[in-house]
Amino acid sequence: MTQGAIRVGLPASAKGSVPLLVGGFVVAFMVMILIPVWFLLGAVGAGAGHVHGGAKISQEWFVSKINAQQQKYGLPDGSVRIPPGNKVTVTMPDGLVVPASTSKVYIMMRQFSFTPSTVRLQFGGLYDLLFFSPDVFHGASLIQDGSLNAVVMPNMTSKLTVRVTKLGEIQILCNEYCGLGHHLMMGKIIVE
């Protein structure tokens, strides 16, 4: 009785894919070498500073905006009520066109909360929701006529421009897993 020899290596059927595999490794290796080159050229990483239209800003700066917003628009229940920008483009009698403008809303997302946690906006108003994270990646997600999403990167501002056209409550969720309390992260927009 002959014992089958133990074969080392690839079965015959796989031999044809060896050049492909080798090619794949070569490409992967080249990319690995390219990454530091891109980095030095400023195409990726900290040198870029303009990913998603945001710029690196300090936590202190954003917190000062949140505090000013709280002082100006804060209500006893802890929420803030923010007046809208112009709803429509206005043409003045002298022909000057005043474009619809947005009102800024500052919201900090951190592990594991929103500050402020409740924002009151006026129905029909145009707003720039400005999200900031001082710690890790988060994702701001809200649903109004489909879902609106923004990746919120550490120490950067992400903007969602929205005209609120749904009365009542709009939940703001974090859709980027950010740690053990991720599922507890919830903010709220009340449209009134």
- 58-96 b/e (C-beta count within 10 Å ≥ 16 → b): eeeebeebbeebbeebeeeeebbebebbeeeeeeeeeee
Q: Candidates 23-31, 71-79, 155-163, 168-176: pick the segment binding Cu ion (CB under 5 A).
A: 168-176
CA distance 9 to 66: 63
Identify whether the C-beta of residue 131 lies closer than 8 Å to the C-beta of residue 107. yes
Q: Cβ distance 121 to 128 under 8 Å?
A: no
* Residue of 87, 163, 182, 188 that binds Cu ion (CB under 5 A): 182
Tell the smallest beta-carbon distance from residue 130 to Cu ion (Å): 18
| DSSP assignment letter at 179 | S
189 binding Cu ion? (CB under 5 A): no
Q: How far is the CB of 147 from Cu ion (least distance, A)?
A: 16
What residue type is assigned to position 3 of the chain?
Q
Q: Which of residues 130-159 bind Cu ion (CB under 5 A)?
A: 138
Euclidean distance between CA atoms 49 and 44, whole angstroms = 9
Considering the complex, what minimum distance in angstroms separates the CB of residue 115 from Cu ion? 14
From the list 129, 174, 189, 191, which residue makes contact with Cu ion (rule: CB under 5 A)? 174
Residue in 178, 187, 189, 191 binding Cu ion, rule: CB under 5 A: 178
Instruction: Select 156 or 178, whichever has its Cβ closest to Cu ion.
Output: 178
Q: What SS3 class is residue 55? A: coil
Contacts with Cu ion, 90-109, as mask; x by CB under 5 A: --------------------
Positions touching Cu ion (CB under 5 A) are 138, 174, 178, 182, 185
